[in-house]
Amino acid sequence: MPEVSRTQLTFQQDGNLYKSRSAVKAVLSFSDLQEENRLLYKQGGEDDYVVITDQTIFHPQGGGQPFDIGKMTHQSGSIFEVCSVRMDAIHDGQVLHFGRFTQAKFEAGDQVEQEVDVEKRLLYSRYHTAGHVLGAAVRHLLEKEVADFDELKASHFPDSAACEFQGNIDGKWKDSIQQKVEEYMAAKMPVEIDWWDEDDFRKHNLERLIPDRSLAPAGEKFRVVKIIGAEVYPCGGTHVNTTDQCGETLVRKIARKSGQTRISYALK
């Protein structure tokens, strides 16, 4: 294994960056991976490799968002097709790009150009932002209407997009939630990225959102996404620039179980 250090997550600084240069730190065959990391890639075989770089514009799967796909290209013409991206299961903060080479393998120290699949990145960004808009709409309408209300977690995968809440939300609220979502989308609310410490959350009376300290490296602030005029969320994912760019968002189903509610959604 190479010397372990955190991969710089370039996409967190600029989610609209679809091409970027990076330095290769290591190239590992699938069989060379430790078992915990091999288990991340269920279809891995002898022709598959993992490339580790100093920085990445590829979003690894996590936070409810799917991984980016794309390619890395060396000046020699060799291409590494990136078909999955995950966080290292053993080494904190290191990103593993999984895929196959079309020609010669890269070597440690090589400079390569990373390029994400723009169509998929935009789709995932739309879904992720729409999930936050749905969460904001539900909180705005029901925070004081539903006993023990709270936002729990979300999936922004296109085939299973949903937000989960503490409390029983009656199906009668579906039309009102849909209307509020449409209102937020039509308002073209700016979606901005910022970096907050614990005091910033307190200054905005958002103590309930302070993340676990272990989720950010020592001395670093937490990344937050601000939907201006609606809500703030601690979030490491990618997003569109304004809410209307999510496109038409449909509230699909409200399901309740064991004191919790799952509201699914889809984009047209």
Alpha-carbon torsion (193, 198, 203, 206), positive or negative: positive
pTM: 0.95
Residue 175 host element (H or E): helix 174-186
121, 114, 141: which is closest to 230 by C-alpha? 141
Is residue 146 helix, strand or coil?
A: coil
- Paired tokens of 7: 């991969």
Topology, domain 8-116: Elongation Factor Tu (Ef-tu); domain 3 (2.40.30)
Angle at 160 between CA 118 and CA 130, to 5 degrees: 60
Distance of CA 195 to the CA centre of its chain: 16
Mean pLDDT by 10 residues, the chain (268 residues): 79 95 97 94 90 98 97 97 97 96 96 98 98 98 96 97 98 98 98 96 94 80 96 96 98 97 97
Count of C-beta atoms within a 10 Å radius of residue 3: 6
Q: Residues 79-84: contacts with CB within 8 Å, 24+ apart?
A: 79/103, 80/49, 80/51, 80/106, 80/112, 82/51, 82/58, 84/40, 84/41
Q: Which CATH number fits domain 121-267: 2.60.40.350, 3.30.980.10, 3.20.20.60, 2.170.8.10?
A: 3.30.980.10
- Sequence ranges of the chain with CATH classification 2.40.30.130: 8-116
The pLDDT score that the predictor gives to residue 5 is 84
The pLDDT score that the predictor gives to residue 4 is 66
The pLDDT score that the predictor gives to residue 91 is 92
Q: Which amino acid is at 252?
A: R
Angle at 150 between CA 146 and CA 155, to 5 degrees: 120
Distance of CA 95 to the CA centre of its chain: 14
Question: CA distances (Å), 202 to each of 14, 49, 195, 218, in order?
Answer: 26, 45, 14, 19
